[in-house]
Chain A
Amino acid sequence: MSSQVETVIESLKAQGRGALIGYLPIGFPSLAESIEAAVALVENGVDILELGVPYSDPVMDGLVIQEATQKALEDGFRLSDAFTAVREITARVNAPVLLMTYYNPVLQYGVEAFAKDLAAAGGAGLITPDLIPDEAHQWIAAAEKYDLDRVFLAAPSSTDERLAQAVKLCRGFVYAVSTMGITGARADVDSAAHTLVDRLHKVGAKYVGVGVGISSRAQVAEVLTYAEGAIVGSLLVKALSDGGVEAVGRCAADLAPASS
């Protein structure tokens, strides 16, 4: 039983750097291009992939990601496409692939069936923005059974008790929400992020990824001075939307921290 994500973070640590975690939605601008784009991210320095499962009611997402996932749904995205994408990407590049999904699609697919098929496709686990550990017994049991990571969110507003609970139940990393808000590029990453990461480390977190609002090489570098991972989403989605696969690759290369 071991976490692909934790293994990658550990080996990067040994090289003296943190992980760049890149988000893209599956099925945007098409299933094939979303697979190419994810491959391009890894070829250009992204260490861990977070693939978004398009969902009709994405309450945690800002406009850029909403528009992309809505288009994917309009173009006929099906849940089975997520497993296809994971299978094809993991066959081509050597980076862990986490799915970022709202809970209802998992629930309707069947929590255990979802875990089984994700593991069979080579997926590393799930990031669940609207599933808090308190409601996640079924998912945690399935993740245990199929050796998958479960990444829960931690927020600046979370109490220490809740942070400790998240740390205890997460595997892979804890997703620290940098600021009180939804996804989208921001000029400043809140100082709240640093405080939150420190609090998570203090209650025992070994691996913390910071997400929401990170949109420049400087921000990635800054976050990686105090956290094990930096998660970039909207900026990459916008690059893909504006300039296609090649542009999103360039964008990733610009963000990637230099190996020491």
Chain B
Amino acid sequence: MLLRDEVGPYFGEFGGRYVPESLIAALDELSAAYMTAKLDPSFQAELAELHRTYTGRPSIITEVPRFAEHGGGARIILKREDLNHTGSHKINNVLGQALLAKRLGKTRIIAETGAGQHGVASATAAALFGMECVVYMGEVDTVRQALNVARMRLLGAEVIPVTSGSKTLKDAINEAMRDWVANVDTTHYLLGTVAGPHPFPVMVRDFHKIIGEEAREQVLALTGRLPDVVTACVGGGSNAIGIFHAFLDDPSVKLVGFEAAGHGIETGKHAATMSMGRPGVLHGARSYMLQDADGQTVESHSISAGLDYPGVGPEHSWLKDLGRATYRPITDAEAMDALRLLSRTEGIIPAIETAHGLAGALQLGRELGPDAIILVNNSGRGDKDMETAAKYFGILDGETA
């Protein structure tokens, strides 16, 4: 069987459904609706039309030679998901799920968000389809991504700061699950990453795999061959699986995910789930996660709210254990350097999340040398991060680094 054909609910020993029984009926309903929609040409046509006229697909690829000079001279090509409407890859999944929610007759969508990108995309889809939208966001993240909170509210969504636990993405997911358990009749939980109980990991991947499918053709057209490596940042792993998927069965193409090492994996202040975690159950699926000896989830740290998550999608865990993909840590400092470098050499300001993948591409370029072609998912734009970046670099008047 091709790796691309895996449709869950299990990816090897990973995945499954570790959720309260109250949610099973909704998950079964969603699985069935998704299976039907997947085979329904009218659903696929409606989604494709939305992507063409609303998202702005296909997104382009951009070769970045001035940036690549700092990465051993390898050819580095960006897949420009940052140019999508709402500024990241998140819209691909959101439009797909919102269409499904409409088919299921749900009038209310709820979502969790870390950096706010998925929350903004969800609020956007809710506005477009005339649905009520509630976004759960860790209180810590509402502060560091205040601009995205304003965007969501402007779009008509209610943003609820979550004050339990570590007050970040993992707690926002807990709160969204609690809401869903109580309101499942009217509400669709628009989960924003390839984690969670089946069918979310498979369904969210399918809505994002268009990234890699487009990029594979675009790189072939530009260079006449497949890339040597495909890379992306990994938090929950949605943009990474989106660009990896079309290449899973191309054995010559290496797949490398870059996760957040925060202050450094040796400091304990990181979100490097694959490098430092071990398999467990979190948020409805079995996968790698950061946990202590007793199985309590350990709080993660990253300068990037979107990668600040102690879990990862089950398909990534499977790919890691199969040896098909590898995962490496990138520190806050390395990511911020790459963010500034891409801005100054190419005039493209990436999201801090995305910058982890870019820093990784420089690393890979130096390892592989000038003959290599590296495809990077430029998953989001950095506008939302200006406050963090300005503070980090001390570039606002009256501030010091």
**Chain A contacts to B: CB under 8 angstroms:** 55-60, 62, 66, 70, 73, 78-79, 103-109, 129-132, 134-135, 152-159, 162, 166, 177, 180-182
Contact = CB atoms under 8 A, between A and B. Distances in A.
Given A59-B174, A157-B184, 5 more contacts: A59-B178, A59-B283, A79-B294, A79-B295, A157-B22
Interface string B1-35: 00000000000000011111110111000000000
A157 B25 contact: yes
A234 to B, nearest CB: 14
B174 A57 contact: yes
B388 interface: no
A181 B25 contact: no
A66, A131, A157, A159 interface centre (most CB from chain B within 10 Å): A157
A134 B297 contact: no
B165 interface: yes
How many B residues are at the interface, by size bracket?
20 to 34
Contact of A130 (B20, B182, B184, B294): B20
Interface of B: 16-22, 24-26, 164-165, 170-171, 174, 177-178, 181-185, 280-284, 291, 293-297
Contact of A103 (B18, B171, B177): B18
Nearest to B311: A57
Contact of B185 (A55, A104, A155, A180): A180
A40 B382 CA distance: 57
A70 B296 CA distance: 11
A124 B178 CA distance: 28
Nearest to A212: B22
B140 to A, nearest CB: 16
B18 A109 contact: no
Contacts of A135: 16-18
Contacts of A59: 19-20, 174, 177-178, 181, 283
Given A59-B20, A130-B20, A159 B295 contact: no
Closest 8 A/B residue pairs (Cβ): A108-B295, A157-B25, A181-B182, A155-B22, A105-B295, A104-B295, A153-B21, A56-B297
Nearest to A176: B21
Contact of B165 (A56, A105, A182): A56
Given A70-B164, A103-B281, A135-B18, A181 B181 contact: yes
